[in-house]
Amino acid sequence: MKNIKIGIIGATGYTGSELVRLLTDHPNAEIKIITSESRAGEKFSDVHPQFLNICDDELKSINEISNYDLDIVFLALPHGVSMDFVAKNHHQKFKIIDLSGDFRLKSKSDYEHWYKMDHHFPKGIEDAVYGLPELFRDRIKDSELVANPGCFPTASILPIAPLVMEGLVETDHIVIDAKTGVTGAGVKAKEVTHFPNTNDNFKAYGVSNHRHTIEIQEKVGECTSAAVTVLFTPHLLPVDRGIISSAYLKPRKKVDQELIDKVFADHYGAEPFVRYRKVVPHLKQVRGTNFCDVFAQYDERTNTIITMGVIDNLVKGAAGQAIQNMNIIMGLNETTGLRQVPLQP
């Protein structure tokens, strides 16, 4: 197969950096343009020094993208900015994989309620396919616009979906308790991620109103005809990267551990990036990789199914999943360029 000609729009953040890191060793990827409006003219390795002599490409302005013949464009742009690019370029021949939240939801009104901003390209909402391959692979392969999932939703939906799809759990009150590393907040300095506020500390945020709540609820809802209500609380861990999401679900019928194990084996046994574990997983077992490690245990005393999903928020929660989606669109094996071994210790 010929090389895939790639543009990365927005290169100064963690997601842009991860895209370059992973695509550098992708056998079919050729990065043609990397953009940054604030650092145009500088080398990529000036912004991210770890890339010295690996990727020294000059950063270009987004206005130069028309000078390149591209197959895939990754948008590593903030919410509200991606929609402008898509509105301007949706007629171009390249496929777009958007890592922002601008096209993840199916409703303009839901987006405006949860993101607190206007959405002025509703056609993109209609056209976009949600890029969670394990659930929507068949839709992704023919899509012109992929809405790459959020990191919390990826870690939360994958451990819940098989139980919901099999009708084993009540869906009117799904409780999710999730923890993330500070890279989930982006590269720009903020008070919440200031070292003295995160080091040796642990706190909840976005209680009852985090924007990923509606994304999780909507996509879990696509797995069932029943009404779905999700209560989601995120927490900030004093670590660089990684997410662990725990959910608590009530069975609708009699279950036991053997049945639960079978459900997960049936759903994910052939999936290259979802590993069903028999022991509780942790962050370092997925660090730097596109794996989502899933765990489920039935607690007979409380009649509760406890599920866990563990990912690297910058890889399966962002750049790695975006590349997995690119592989699907371009007809490649999904694991191409994504065979990294977890970094532990």
**Per-residue pLDDT tens digits for 279-328:** 999 999 999 999 999 999 999 999 999 999 999 999 999 999 999 999 99
Judge whether residue 187 has pLDDT over 90: no
| Tokens (6 digits) for 50 | 């770890």
Closest by CA to 80, choosing from 47, 51, 108, 119, is 119
Contacts of 301 (CB under 8 A, 6+ apart): none
For 15, 38, 259, 340, the CA distances from 18, given in Å and listed in that order, are 5, 19, 38, 13
Domain covering 4-148+316-329 in this structure, CATH number: 3.40.50.720
d(CA 60, CA 44) in angstroms, rounded, equals 10
What is the DSSP secondary structure assignment for residue 253, as one 8-state letter? S
What kind of architecture, by CATH, is found in domain 152-313? 2-Layer Sandwich (3.30)
Strand pairing class (243-249; 304-311): antiparallel
Other Cβ atoms within 10 Å of 4 Cβ, number: 21
Judge whether residue 1 has pLDDT over 80: no
Cα end-to-end span (Å), the chain: 37
Closest by CA to 231, choosing from 219, 214, 245, is 214
Q: Which residues pair with 178 in a beta bridge?
A: 234, 245
pLDDT of residue 193: 86
Which residue numbers are catalytic? 151
d(CA 39, CA 61) in angstroms, rounded, equals 9
Average pLDDT over residues 59-67: 96
Indicate the pLDDT class of residue 192, thresholds 50, 70 and 90: confident
pTM of the full predicted structure?
0.97
Judge whether residue 189 has pLDDT over 80: no
Average pLDDT over residues 59-79: 96
Domain range summary for the chain, segments of one domain joined by +: 4-148+316-329, 152-313
pLDDT of residue 285: 98
Average pLDDT over residues 115-127: 97
Average pLDDT over residues 111-128: 97
Cβ 127 vs Cβ 144: under 8 Å: yes
